[in-house]
Amino acid sequence: MVGVRVEMPSNNPIVLLRERDGDRYLPIWVGAVEATAIAYAQQGIVPPRPLTHDLMTDIIGALGGRVAEVRITALEDGVFYAVVTFVDGTEVGARPSDAIALALRTGAPIRGAEAVLDAAGIELPAEDDEPVSAEDEVQQFREFLDHVSPEDFGQ
């Protein structure tokens, strides 16, 4: 995962997931509350009172469960879908933003279906063959966002 950014000029938050063994990125537009929950988890910020995703994590643990993985499973009519899979095999459908926020709190891996990456994944061109730092990656993403709109991913 690369992070959360606000796409300008629309002020829409977006999460950027990066393919582990590839060059594709998956941009997912999310709500402001979910973007905040994801950013807090990524930065290790613990709010004075639990957010909804913290509560979900606590409930799962209290019931003896554990999140095995989160999968971004589908993209239909411009809407992403996800599944939270537990270690006992139980699967629960979720919005990707909620699933990502939960995965970050539980340490579960986030996976994207190949079909979703094929449909909505983008490649951010590297300037050369040198390794790209996280800061450079985010800067490339910001430049990409300056020229893209949500409609670009609905087709």
pLDDT at residue 150, as a whole number: 59
Angle in degrees, 0-180, between the axes of helices 32-43 and 52-62, rounded to the nearest 10: 60
Q: Does the pLDDT value for residue 117 go beyond 90?
A: yes
Instruction: Report d(CA 114, CA 73) in Å as an integer.
Output: 9
- Of 38-52, 80-94, 99-113, the one with minimum mean pLDDT is 38-52
pTM more than 0.75: yes
**Beta-carbon contacts of residue 17 (< 8 Å; ≥ 6 apart):** 1, 2, 25, 26, 28, 72, 100, 110, 112
By percentage, how much of the chain surpasses pLDDT 70? 79
CA dist 6 → 13, 117, 153 (Å): 4, 21, 17
Average pLDDT over residues 89-110: 97
Residues 5-51 pLDDT 10s: 777 777 889 999 999 888 899 999 999 999 999 999 999 998 899 99
Question: 25: closest CA among 34, 35, 15?
Answer: 15
Residues 121-148 pLDDT 10s: 998 766 555 555 656 655 666 666 666 6
pLDDT at residue 38, as a whole number: 93
Reported CATH class of domain 3-153: alpha beta
